[in-house]
Amino acid sequence: MSLGQTIVERLKAAFPDVRLKLEDSGGGNHWDLTIASDALKGVSKVKQHQAIYKPLRDLIDSNEVHALKISVVALDDWEE
């Protein structure tokens, strides 16, 4: 499984209603993530990022994921 697939699968497991778009933004360890989930609704940006980082912590700590640009949107605003 590729790193991108691993990230997607972990986020899907952590946020069952998730909608997400993940793009490699360079070098295979820099990523752009757009994510929507009710679990992130009404939560501070810091808490959102902490919740997103949690299932990816080992990948971040090992530098497999060096940079993760996160954009959180409301599920109601999600566009496929």
According to DSSP, the β-strands at 67-72 and 19-26 are unpaired
CATH homologous superfamily of domain 3-73? BolA-like (3.30.300.90)
pLDDT along the chain (80 residues), means of 10: 96 97 94 97 96 98 97 87
- The pTM assigned to this predicted structure is 0.93
Distance of alpha carbon 5 from alpha carbon 18, whole angstroms: 15
Q: How is the chain split into domains, by residue range?
A: 3-73
pLDDT computed for residue 75 by the predictor? 87
